[in-house]
């Protein structure tokens, strides 16, 4: 919101400087992002009238202008501008003048003819071309013909001003108006607020009877609609003072009628719209939802395809405006318009927000409707526009107004406890001062015994609770006046829950293993299930669809994490980053039959491709299945997860059928790990092997025990023994390891598979497995007899349980 300091002073006396006011507003919650002085660089530029234009003797594209600037003699200026005519009043930069950007004007000769100054465009005076009339956006600026000569252009164009750039929070829609900001300033400075004149001079003997009709078919989306009628309208440029104020706010002047609607919107915060009455069928306004397939061409010339949930303004022939956002081209006010129907209405914020987003169309009006406007201010805004129309002589006002207000709602008063104010703020604010501060904001306060009964004005739609009133008191009282105090009351010691501690440790372990954490969107494209080769009947395709998605690319809630990681790898691979390991901890959203909300299940997923960093032997580590399997084993050890095993997985279509395994612990499946199927990699255009895993964190944490702790180094030496055996090829090595660990007892400290052999010395259908065993005790050195007894016990268990044949 851009606020003119000069315009603001029309409503409230401001005895402090703009810089000090900016500080006061910021401390009161209306953040001033910056101060702009539009005419700061400009000097020695005055108004002048072109008396005569002569051709340049030596240049076809130049002309010689004789300009009167209030001096005794005419000033000769050479220009190449094509939009100037004799009699035009224009900005004239005299010799020594300084323009926007630091340009200094000097006396010069152009193709042999002396030029004593320069005619100025709006850009050269620091004005934004977007706020200039279309015919002057890139030419010399033309001023009204009755502008006095020799005046400083800064005062004529309002450039001797200071513009406040306000960064308002979404709840302060009331401050998207000059009156709203002025009300805050008056409250902060203890000044009186002056309201604009709302009296309307209506045509004697005129009446709206039978000329205007308003039907509201959607009262929940349009709670009020006010219409006024203007006749004998003379469309033309608006007065210079109005154009100045519109430009200061960043709005381009168009015509007097349109400028009045924009002016009132900026002044009172109520968007208005003007229709060419003669192009409305029967003067009949219908507020309804759009018909299926209905189309309207908006004022910007774009054809808009409307949807049934969108609110439109229509006549019996069809839609003439998208309610609260933009009017239609068919009923636009033009220079031929003589009768105008003015709309001042209240539209539901959510409806406007959704329609604006769906059409990709935002306007100053929609911004205000989205944040909520003053329901009680519709008629006042229409009357203010009517008053301005008469004031500038642009037309006449038909007596009366149509005010369709289906269900007026009176806001209930809020009970405020003065002692609660002091308790919340930590400051001893007297009851009388609390009442005074609220009254300065326009709130009506009544004594209700120990409590106060506060009636909130209709323009403060953000005030609904007692705590809101306390915040208002704090803002005006001044946060800097609240004393610093120590906290009091019952305190609790902060600590992480078990799950939070496990999650923190989990992330640390994964980072230590060389993975990088990423965060992907929870909203995904339904096409990811096809790319990831999820079967059509899979429950993973039962997604929660968003009611109002930003795009089809983010229209459903994810049920898997891995597709998001694959997109990260794809993006990196396309940028020639062909190696890397990443992980994500996040939630998937699984719809529950009959339930409004989905199950939010915490998951862990990781993916890796290419080669890892070089290790101690200067060779790169392949980021393959065994790398991720090792990561999971380290993770299990660090989180105290016993009995982690891997079983072959053949049914998951996203993984390679011979290179994937189910992750299990204590008989419960936790997830899957393996190499992704080549068809999936082709979908993501990845030309390297990718391995991945996905784990249910809730199940993992439920089984996790105490994280691993420090153990001192052993004092006594260990004894190593090797054992080799032949088993069926169908027996997994994990089963053999499980038997060895169980039979080895507490003296078996570690076991490692170091050789797998299939060949001529091993019978068909079998393979040879060789293990290295380490036996060790904490209190003594083991004897050969003890180690031999343990080794024989292990051998017997292997023969008995997995049908192993020991090799000698």
Backbone phi and psi for residue 428, each to the nearest 5 degrees, phi listed first: -90, 90
Q: How far apart are CA 68 and CA 57, in angstroms?
A: 22
Could you give the 3-state DSSP secondary structure of residue 198? Answer: coil
Find out whether 471 is annotated in a ligand binding site: yes
The answer to whether the annotation marks 135 as part of a ligand binding site is no
Q: How far apart are CA 173 and CA 115, in angstroms?
A: 51
Q: Is 591 exposed, middle or buried (0-12, 13-18, 19+ CB in 10 A)?
A: middle
- Coil, strand or helix: which one is 805? strand
Confirm if 661 and 596 have CB atoms less than 8 A apart. no
Single out the residue of 538, 499, 494, 514 nearest to residue 707, CA to CA.
499
Question: How many secondary structure helices (H) and strands (E) does the chain include?
Answer: 20, 40
Interhelix angle 784-802/733-744, rounded to 10 degrees, is: 140
Q: How far is the C-alpha of 610 from the C-alpha of 624, rounded, in Å?
A: 8
The neighbour count for residue 134, using CB atoms within 10 Å, is 9
Buried b / exposed e over 225-260, threshold 16 CB at 10 Å, is bbbbbbeebebeebbbebbbbbbbbebbbbbbbbbb
735 is in an annotated binding site: no
Question: Whose structure tokens read 């600026």?
Answer: 141
Q: Is 778 annotated as a binding residue?
A: no
Kindly compute the dihedral angle of the four CA atoms of residues 268, 350, 343, 177, in this order, to the nearest 10 degrees. 10
The beta strand positions in 302-450, using DSSP E, are: 303-305, 311-315, 318-322, 326-327, 340-347, 396-397, 402-404, 414-416, 444-448
Q: Tokens for 686, please give them.
A: 């990845």
Annotated binding site: 462, 468, 471-472
Q: Which residues are annotated as a binding site for Mg(2+)?
A: 462, 468, 471-472
């Amino acid at each position: 919101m851009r606020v003119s300091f000069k315009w603001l002073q029309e409503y409230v006396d401001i005895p402090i400087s703009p810089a000090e006011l900016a500080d006061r507003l910021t401390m009161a919650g209306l953040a001033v992002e910056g101060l702009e002085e539009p005419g700061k660089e400009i000097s020695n530029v005055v108004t002048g009238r072109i008396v005569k234009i002569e051709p340049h003797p030596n240049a076809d594209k130049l002309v010689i202008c004789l300009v009167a600037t209030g001096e005794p003699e005419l000033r000769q200026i050479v220009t190449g501008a094509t939009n100037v005519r004799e009699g035009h009043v224009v900005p004239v930069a005299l010799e020594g003048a300084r323009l926007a950007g630091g340009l200094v004007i000097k006396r010069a000769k152009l193709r042999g003819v002396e030029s004593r100054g320069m005619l100025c465009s709006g850009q050269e005076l620091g004005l934004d071309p977007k706020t200039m009339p279309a015919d002057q956006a890139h030419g010399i600026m033309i001023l009204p013909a009755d502008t006095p000569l020799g005046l400083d252009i800064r005062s004529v164009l309002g450039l001797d001003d200071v513009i406040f750039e306000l960064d308002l929070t979404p709840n302060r829609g009331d401050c998207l108006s000059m009156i709203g900001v002025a009300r805050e300033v008056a409250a902060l400075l203890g000044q009186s607020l002056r309201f604009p004149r709302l009296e309307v001079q209506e045509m004697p003997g005129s009446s709206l009877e039978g000329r205007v009709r308003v039907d509201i078919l959607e009262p929940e989306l349009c709670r009020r609609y006010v219409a006024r009628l203007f006749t004998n309208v003379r469309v033309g440029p608006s007065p210079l003072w109005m154009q100045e104020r519109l430009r200061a706010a960043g709005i381009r002047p168009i015509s007097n009628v349109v400028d009045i609607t924009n002016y009132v919107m900026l002044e009172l915060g109520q968007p208005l719209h003007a229709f060419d009455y003669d192009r409305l069928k029967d003067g009949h306004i219908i507020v309804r939802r759009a018909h299926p397939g209905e189309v309207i061409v908006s004022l910007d010339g774009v054809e808009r395809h409307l949807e049934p949930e969108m609110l439109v303004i229509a006549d019996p022939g069809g839609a003439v405006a998208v309610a609260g956002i933009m009017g239609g081209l068919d009923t636009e006010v033009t220079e031929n318009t003589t009768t105008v129907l003015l709309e001042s209405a209240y539209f539901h914020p959510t409806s406007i927000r959704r329609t604006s987003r769906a059409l990709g169309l935002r306007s100053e009006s929609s911004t205000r409707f989205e944040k909520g406007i003053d329901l009680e201010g519709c008629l006042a805004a229409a009357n203010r526009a009517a008053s301005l129309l008469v004031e500038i002589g642009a037309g006449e006002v038909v007596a009366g107004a149509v005010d369709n207000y289906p269900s007026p709602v009176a806001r209930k008063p809020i009970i405020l406890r003065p002692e609660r104010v002091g308790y919340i703020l930590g400051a001893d604010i007297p009851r009388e001062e609390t009442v005074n501060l609220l009254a300065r904001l326009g709130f009506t306060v009544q004594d209700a015994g120990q409590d106060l009964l506060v009636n909130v004005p209709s323009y403060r739609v953000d005030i609904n609770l007692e705590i809101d009133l306390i915040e208002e008191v704090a803002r005006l009282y001044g946060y800097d006046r609240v004393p610093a105090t120590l906290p009091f009351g019952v305190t609790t010691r902060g600590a992480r829950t078990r799950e939070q501690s496990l999650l923190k440790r989990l992330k640390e372990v994964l980072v230590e293993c060389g993975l990088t954490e990423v965060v992907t969107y929870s909203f995904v494209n339904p096409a990811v299930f096809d790319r990831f080769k999820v079967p059509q009947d899979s429950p993973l395709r039962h997604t929660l669809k968003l009611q109002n998605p930003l795009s089809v690319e983010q229209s459903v809630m994810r049920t898997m994490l891995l597709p998001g990681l694959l997109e990260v790898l794809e993006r990196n691979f396309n940028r020639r980053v062909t190696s890397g390991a990443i992980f994500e901890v996040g939630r998937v959203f699984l719809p529950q039959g009959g339930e409004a909300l989905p199950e939010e299940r915490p998951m862990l997923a990781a993916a890796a491709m290419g080669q890892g960093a070089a290790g101690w032997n200067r060779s790169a580590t392949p980021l393959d299945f065994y790398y991720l399997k090792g990561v999971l084993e380290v993770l299990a050890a660090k989180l105290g997860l016993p009995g982690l095993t891997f079983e072959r997985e053949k049914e998951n279509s996203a993984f390679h059928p011979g290179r994937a395994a189910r992750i299990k612990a204590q008989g419960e499946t936790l997830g899957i790990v393996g190499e992704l199927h080549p068809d999936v990699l082709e979908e993501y255009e990845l030309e390297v092997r990718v391995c991945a895993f996905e784990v249910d964190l809730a199940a993992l944490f439920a089984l996790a025990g105490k994280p691993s702790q420090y153990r001192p180094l052993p004092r006594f030496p260990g004894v190593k023994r090797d054992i080799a055996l032949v088993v069926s090829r169908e027996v997994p090595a994990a089963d053999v390891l499980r038997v060895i660990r169980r039979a080895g007892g507490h003296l078996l400290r570690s076991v490692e598979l170091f050789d797998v052999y299939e060949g001529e010395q091993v019978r068909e259908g079998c393979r040879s497995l060789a293990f290295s065993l380490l036996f060790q005790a904490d209190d003594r050195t083991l004897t050969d007899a003890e180690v031999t007894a343990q080794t024989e016990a292990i051998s017997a268990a292997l023969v008995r349980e997995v049908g192993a044949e020991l090799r000698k």
